[in-house]
Structure 1
Amino acid sequence: MAEQWGTFITGGIGLIGVLAGIPVGRWQVRHQARVEHEQWLRGQRQEAHLALLDVWVTGVKEFQEMVDRDQVSVEHHLVETHPGNGWEASEDRIWEHTETISKPVRNALERVALLGPEIVDTACSQLAVALTGLTQATRLKAGDPTWPDLAACRGSWDQAEAARTAFLTACRKATRTAPEPRRQRS
């Protein structure tokens, strides 16, 4: 009978081990999934940050080129040779061109904002405000012989550079923080 008790105890210990292993296994699977998701999200964020920076630099450069002396001369020539109201047509071209420049930047901003984290979301908000400032400063006095307002444009360029610097700082903090396996997130 003693041998049967040994077999029974061994079987009971095995059954307890199996039952205890189920929640431990589930925890490991959830934990691994969380870590893999964090790594994937981190990679997506890095790609989105780089894409936004590329589009941002291109957009700011295009805004600056729009009010470059040579481009302004071309715009004034188009006004003079336009049949009808040349200034109205000029205003339409300027508004259209600023919209064309802004659209890819807004799309990249939205992608970054979707991926977070909060510190980068805040920096994206600053970039969005700066983008609006660039657009408005470039459009200021559109349809008027005194276009462009270079003082407003320079101010918007400074704001854009400050927002870009803040975005870079936020990205550095977000990217350099590695996922922590034990950190629980909601």
Structure 2
Amino acid sequence: MAEQWGTFITGGIGFIGVLAGIPVGRWQVRHQARVEHQQWLRGQQQEAHLALLDAWVTCVKEFQEAVDQDQVSVEHHLVETHPGDGWEASENRIWEHTEAISKPVQNALERVALLGPEIVDTACSQLAVALTGLSQATLLEAGGPMWPDTTACQRSWDQAEAARTAFLKACRKATRTAPEPRRQRT
């Protein structure tokens, strides 16, 4: 009879082990999925940050080229040779060009804002304000002989550089900060 109790106790311990193993196994699977998702998200964030920086550099360069003296001369020549209201046509061209320059950065900003983290979201907001400033400065006096307002353009470039620097600092901090292991609730 003592042998049967030993078998019964051994079987009971095994059964309890199986029952305890189910929640432990589920916890391990959830934890592993969470870790893999964080790794994937971190990679996506880094790609989005780099894409935004590339788009930003291109955008600022194109805004500067749009109001470059050579481009202004070309625009004024087009106004003089345009049949009808050349200034209105010039204003339309400048508006369309400004929108075309801004669009890639707006898309990249949305992607970064979607992925986070919060410190980078704040820096993205500064970039969005600077992008609006670049557009407004370029459009100031558009459709008139005083275009472009070089003072406004210079201020917007300075604001754009400050926003870019803040974004770089935020990205550097987000990238260099290791994720902290902590208990997360699902």
TM-score range normalised by the length of the shorter chain: over 0.9
- The one-letter amino acid of 1:75's match is E
1:36 corresponds in structure 2 to: 36
Q: Give distance in 2, aligned partners of 1:160 and 1:4.
A: 81
1:134 corresponds in structure 2 to: 134
Matches within 5 A, 1:9-88: 9-88=9-88
Matches within 5 A, 1:110-149: 110-149=110-149
Paired residues of 1:120 and 1:174 also in contact (CA < 8 A): yes
Query: Does 2:178 correspond to 1:178?
Result: yes
Q: TM-score, normalised by structure 1?
A: 0.97
2:99 corresponds in structure 1 to: 99
Q: How many residues align?
A: 186
- The one-letter amino acid of 2:34's match is R
What is the alpha-carbon root mean square deviation over aligned residues? 1.1
Shift of 1:183: 4.6
Change (3 A) 1:170 1:76: same
Give 5+ residue unaligned stretches, structure 2. none
Q: Give distance in 1, aligned partners of 2:155 and 2:185.
A: 40
Q: Give distance in 1, aligned partners of 2:48 and 2:81.
A: 44
1:3 corresponds in structure 2 to: 3
Give 5+ residue unaligned stretches, structure 1. none
Give the percent of matched residue pairs that are identical in Structure 1 and Structure 2.
Answer: 88
Q: TM-score, normalised by structure 2?
A: 0.97
